[in-house]
Amino acid sequence: MKTITNELIQKFNEYLIDEEKATATIEKYIRDITAFMKWLAGTEITKQMVLAYKQKLIEDYAPASVNSVLSSLNSFFSYNEWYDCKVKALKIQRQVFASKEKELTKAEYEKLLNVAKNKNNERLYYLMQTICSTGIRVSELKYITCNDLKIGQAVIRCKGKTRIVFLTKQLCKMLANYIKKHNVKSGSVFVTKTGKPLDRSNIWSDMKKLCEIAGVSKDKVFPHNLRHLFARTYYSLQKDIVRLADILGHSSVNTTRIYTMESGDVHRKQLQKLGLLRY
């Protein structure tokens, strides 16, 4: 009889740690599996039950979110050798345009910076610029250290990979003034009052607080969208998706293409400039 228990989940958690999965990834897997266990309410796991849960997910979430949960469950099933319980992901046609409602523009980014500065939230002011000028993930902020500002580059270790991220002279100068003012002498540049690296949830919450005053939709304001803005801006200038993939730490340019998608309005304007219509 196949049933999910807290003990099994704990063992899977330890397995993921041994596999050196990112902390955020582990938390997501465990959260998805725990939600499935609660839905089962002690019922035996069968392929039919998993398919029923899949249908529930389809009714409640977007296709990409459904596939994300199914990936967590399938990993758990493979770990327990419950191969007969695994289900297929949804087939999703590749999106051509980014959603205008979710795309953070450069003008909106600057509005957020102005509000952060006016509210004297220096940490958030410089933190957002660090992410947006380097393209790093919010989880990688902790790798930007005081010593890195002296050499103009940081070593980022994430998802089992190591890469070098370059810090511009202007950014290094800004952050050097910041750490001097706040008496941060070593370790990560952005820390809490107790000296620990910032938690992503705190950063998310602080950014959301800027929205109303800045006049920017909350749906657009979250740390990862700064990474997307960096990618679109870089690609619009350099048109080098392979180099951009390296900078972002992507193993596949297909992932990078998602970051460089522009809204339908941009493509519409480009079509209008073709000059192929005659009145």
Catalytic residue numbers read 137, 159, 224, 227, 250, 259
Nearest to 229 by CA among 109, 100, 80: 109
Burial of 14 from C-beta contacts in 10 A (0-12 / 13-18 / 19+) = exposed
DSSP string for residues in 250-274: -S-HHHHHHHH--BHHHHHHHHHTT
Distances (CA, A) of 102 to 49, 67, 97, 108, 236: 34, 20, 11, 12, 19
SS3 call for 152 = coil
Non-local (6+) Cβ contacts of 220 within 8 A are 101, 102, 103, 104, 108
Contact yes or no for 264/100 (Cβ under 8 A): yes
For residues 239-249, b (16+ Cβ closer than 10 Å) or e, as one string?
Answer: eebeebbebbb
- Which amino acid is located at 130 in the chain? T
Cα–Cα distance, 246 to 82 (Å, whole number): 37
CA atoms within 13 A on the CB side of 173: 3
Q: How many helices (H) and strands (E) does the chain have?
A: 14, 2
Q: How far is CA 263 from the centre of its chain?
A: 19
